[in-house]
Amino acid sequence: MRLLYYTLLIAALGTAAVDTFAQEQKKFTFTGAARSLFYADDIDLKAEEADTVTVPRLNSGNVMVDLGLNIRPNQNTEILGMVRIRNDYGGFWGSGVTFDIRQLSVKGVIGGVVRYQLGDINYRMSKYTMWNYDQELMTNVPAIFRQQVDVVNYDHFYFDDHSRRQQGAAAECALVFRKYVKELQFHAMTSRVKASDFANVSDRLFSGLNAQLIQSDHLEIGINYANLYDIPGTSRTDFSFRNPVTTFTMKVLATYKGIDLSINAEAGKSRTRYENNVEAPDWNDRFLTAEFSAHHKNSGLKVSANSLFVGSGFRSPGAQTKRIAFDGTPAAFERFTNDQVLRAPVLLDYMRESDFYTLQLQPYLMPFNPVYDNITPYGDATPNRQGVILTLGYEKKDVPVTAALTHYQLQEERGEGTLLPRKFGRNQLNIGADVNQFFNGWKKHCHVTFSMCNDRTTRGGDELVRGVDLKTDVWNAGIELEVLNGFDLMFGIQSLQYEGFDFTAVRDLYSEIYNFVEYKAEGEEQLTSFGARYRFSEKSFISAQFTSSENSSKVDNGISYDINQFMLLFNMKF
Amino acid sequence: MKMKNKIFFAAVVMVFTFAGCKVDKEFEGPSLNDLYGQFAIVQGLAVSNYDVNFSENQTTYFTATFSKNVEWQIEVKGLQSGSRKIITGFSNVLDATNATWDGSTTSLPLFKAEECAIELTFAAEADTLRDTLIVLGTKIYEGFLLSDFESGVNPGWDSFVQSGANMSFTVQSSDQSPQGNNYFDIGGTVNWDWLIALIDMPGSAYGAPTYPLSENPNMEYFNVMLHKDPTLSNGIMLFQFREDDNGDGVYTTNVEDMYSIEIQLSENGWSLYSSKYADLQTLINGAPAAAIGNGVHEPHKLLQISALFLANPSSGYAHTQMDYLIFTQGGPLVP
């Protein structure tokens, strides 16, 4: 025991907190954000018969302030309360004004050992237990589109660390050892996902546990447990949902002849069941993934190879809940044409409309749009996938260019409706460059981005059943050009083309496939945008932009139309 | 190479050795071939036994093969009796496991020794396949038969018939008899009393004071086939089951148990009515009441069964037909 000297330690942030607390701090501070957003839309139907029913122009917008008060009653406690005041343009004297509680949390340190947080917490675990994957087609978009995506993400607490906003409690602590093991961390959280209605819906909780053993700078081993579950007795129903997921992680780091090497591996299993419901299935399945990567710093070259297997019955609500609920309809121009048919949402709608987005974990596999992503609709945790992902990249210190070329070669573990598995191929290229840094004396910012992604889903057919071949091509290009101090001109374009045929699975409440629907797709969407932005500071800007969304579908007398959007956005964080 | 690098490369080799795609031997969801494949009859309809004698415990089964799983229906129709047997399923093969016929019927009457037409149809396809077979002997049902009226009325029975108008109380013969050729016909107009006619069927009519039933009321089922005229809806058939609780050989009114079944004829045509002995109730004027005797269902003490045909005196002419009264064991009669 003498050799094993350990000290209870406040976890990393706890340490940071102590350092911070050591300084003189105000007991009250204000935090929050302010935003003004205005849209002027115009729809142009490309049809032989003029649309005389739909109102062709829509204006909408709002002003909102998130006003947060940070209270520090003592050195070990911090209370945050944030109120959102929102007013629609045109809503005076109370009309259209809303007051909401956006955030309430208490956090602190118990006995200098355990760090805790109560109320609203942002939490993430591993990619297969609790991970909030990005929405489709909006990750590598030009900055001019990113402004609208950021608004949606901010409103829904979608952060870059892929955490998910929960309401509950979290705690963490760590043990530091002198020999053999560097540190042992413990993290735990529980949140309430759904409240009982005292009749048919029970209280549903999500709990996560993580123990992370950091042996050294070269080896980390972890165990994760996540469970979405009902509390029996909180309603009159006998059914009780259970979805535990247990995973093991391993991270190995090394350096060999100037090459940074790493292995990230995770393996685990899940079980999904509805207790006391004989009609519900009992899913058991597993996953296994290991990524090897190497980065030669001198040359900037990076390579990685990721081998993955995710069973068809693997269910992890914490990781598989999608940001976008694809069964919604757009708020702008919800119906159009003289027949007032429902308009299917397009990229522009997903980019700006909050109502499509989810906040709570879902116990089933949510629907998705095969045209936007048929390969990884649930991120890395997409069930029924196996294969490899290869990446070749470039990233070098002091060189203002980054590039990555990624190839997915996946297939189903279990065929859907046939023994033949579907095969998935994806080629993805992302390039970004600060062009001004190539020229001496060009001090103003100039950043260009380009990305493209080609997805293909195939499966052979026979004389009885049609084969599958669905192809999606996306490319983005954008530029931010600073012409005066803090004043940027921006341009961006995103093009999506799709064509082909697939059978899409129709799932029941338990995510079991009970039918297949023939899915024919042929069409394109194109977003073109230009505008200007003035940056008052790093945390505030005003932006005006014009976006044209051209949409056409050639399937089943598809309707082609354009939506032209003018947007004025003022954004500030404080 | 340093030790940690050796470990690292060993780990690289180890984690990538699991890589390799294996495809499950089962697929997820319904078969695409079933949902979207082209339908074709690979092998036509055939019958394993075209001359089948069900009375000798023979069965026959139908065979066919299709290009995909479909919802199919086989209808066997007796060309003399009009009896129908329906067999349904969802498969791409018909064979002994899913298309066997044991001589039973789906809707009364029971099959006779007759020629039968077979028709194979599909829920979502226009094709129809046809064939015929001959029933040489009908299925024999296990149980204690009270009467099928093929040899007339049991001489040990007693009866009472009101002297109303258009009275009928006799065995009749017809191809439409639900079993065999004969059935019992009861009818008439009695405008002063609910009772039209009754039959007492004492156990002594079968050679012993009580019926030869087991002691377990959950194993004994009483079955009877009754007919309702489509134009009449006033007939009520009441069956009374008198037990000899004290074993003195006679039924003592208001002392020993009498259970009843009251059947309001509602389904047009022939219907099979079955009741578990343990479910029989004590009825007073048609309403459930406390047991009269020891309140224990004792089928082995069943002394007499009475069949009473009733109708509201103001409702006019009432009529029914009755056939195949039988006790079965372990479950109701499955025709």
Q: What tens-digit pLDDT sequence spans chain A (574 residues)?
A: 333 444 444 333 343 333 444 445 678 999 999 999 999 999 998 887 888 888 889 999 999 999 999 999 988 899 999 999 999 887 766 677 889 999 999 999 998 899 999 999 999 999 999 999 999 998 889 999 999 999 999 999 999 999 999 999 999 999 999 888 999 999 999 999 999 988 888 999 999 999 999 999 999 999 999 999 999 999 988 889 999 999 999 999 999 888 999 999 999 999 999 988 888 889 999 999 999 999 998 999 999 999 999 999 999 999 999 999 998 899 999 998 888 888 999 999 999 998 999 999 999 999 999 999 999 999 999 999 999 999 999 999 888 999 999 999 999 999 999 999 999 999 999 999 999 988 888 889 999 999 999 999 999 987 778 899 999 999 999 999 999 999 999 999 999 999 999 999 999 988 899 999 999 999 999 999 999 999 999 999 999 999 999 999 888 668 899 999 999 999 999 8
Is B155 in the same domain as B121? no
Residues A399 and A374: their CA atoms lie apart, in Å, by: 35
Lowest-pLDDT choice from A19-28, B89-98, B284-293:
A19-28
Residues 6+ apart with CB under 8 A from A307: A289, A290, A291, A387, A388, B15, B16, B18, B19
Kindly report the CATH number assigned to the domain that includes residue A209.
2.40.170
Is B175 in the same domain as B220? yes
CB A501 within 8 A of CB A518: yes
For residue B67, is it within any domain?
yes
Among candidates B205, B244, B225, which has minimal Cα distance to B333? B225
Among candidates A484, A566, A561, which has minimal Cα distance to A530? A566
B31 touches chain A (CB under 8 A): yes
Is B101 in the same domain as B161? no
A284 touches chain B (CB under 8 A): no
Is B37 in the same domain as B163? no
Looking at residue B61, its pLDDT comes to: 96
Query: What ipTM did this prediction achieve?
Result: 0.80
Looking at residue A13, its pLDDT comes to: 37
Residues B232 and B317: their CA atoms lie apart, in Å, by: 8
Q: Which residues of A touch B29 (CB under 8 A)?
A: 416-417, 505, 512-516
Among candidates B156, B144, B153, which has minimal Cα distance to B300? B144
Which pTM was predicted? Answer: 0.75
End of a domain among B104, B137, B170? B137
Averaged pLDDT score across all residues of chain B: 90
For residue A149, is it within any domain?
yes
What is the domain count for chain A? 1
Among candidates B32, B252, B16, B190, which has minimal Cα distance to A421? B32
Residues 6+ apart with CB under 8 A from B297: B217, B257, B259, B277, B278, B280
Kindly report the CATH number assigned to the domain that includes residue B173.
2.60.120.260
Looking at residue B10, its pLDDT comes to: 56
A290-A295-A301 Cα angle (round to 5): 120
For residue A1, is it within any domain?
no
Residues A412 and A314: their CA atoms lie apart, in Å, by: 13
Structural domain of residue B310, as residue ranges? 144-329
Is B121 in the same domain as B163? no
For residue B266, is it within any domain?
yes
End of a domain among B120, B137, B154? B137
For residue B4, is it within any domain?
no
CB A300 within 8 A of CB A227: no
Is B114 in the same domain as B56? yes
Among candidates A344, A363, A426, which has minimal Cα distance to A391? A426
Is B177 in the same domain as B273? yes
Looking at residue A48, its pLDDT comes to: 78
Is B197 in the same domain as B58? no
Alpha helices, H only, A201-346: 317-320
Looking at residue B3, its pLDDT comes to: 53
Is B38 in the same domain as B177? no
Instruction: Chain A: give the shortest CA distance to residue B68, in Å.
Output: 9
Is B176 in the same domain as B118? no
Cβ neighbours of A8 (radius 10 Å): 12
Looking at residue A21, its pLDDT comes to: 42
What is the domain count for chain B? 2
Q: Which two tokens stand for residue A477?
A: 């290009």
Give the chain B residue whose CA is nearest to the CA of A288.
B18
CB A144 within 8 A of CB A478: yes
Q: Beta partners for B223?
A: B274, B326
For residue B216, is it within any domain?
yes
Question: Residue A263: which of B4, B11, B68 has the nearest Cβ?
Answer: B11
Q: Is the pLDDT of residue B265 over 60?
A: yes
Looking at residue A6, its pLDDT comes to: 42
Contact flag A387-B12 (C-beta cutoff 8 Å): no
Q: Which residues of A touch B68 (CB under 8 A)?
A: 464
For residue A15, is it within any domain?
yes
Average pLDDT over residues B205-209: 91
Structural domain of residue A328, as residue ranges? 6-573
Residues B176 and B229: their CA atoms lie apart, in Å, by: 13
Instruction: Chain B: give the shortest CA distance to residue A209, in Å.
Output: 25
β-strand pairing of B60-78 with B115-122? antiparallel
Looking at residue A24, its pLDDT comes to: 57
Burial tier of B144 (Cβ tally within 10 Å: 0-12, 13-18, 19+): middle
Is B76 in the same domain as B209? no
Contact flag A254-B4 (C-beta cutoff 8 Å): yes
Contact flag A513-B30 (C-beta cutoff 8 Å): yes
Alpha helices, H only, A413-538: none
Among candidates A281, A194, A199, A269, which has minimal Cα distance to A230? A194
End of a domain among B76, B110, B137? B137
pLDDT tens per residue, range B26-82: 899 988 888 888 889 999 999 999 999 999 999 999 999 998 889 999 999 999 988
Kindly report the CATH number assigned to the domain that includes residue B51.
2.60.40.2550
For residue A462, is it within any domain?
yes
Is B84 in the same domain as B171? no
Q: Beta partners for B80?
A: none
Question: Residue B29: which of A309, A463, A513 has the nearest Cβ?
Answer: A513
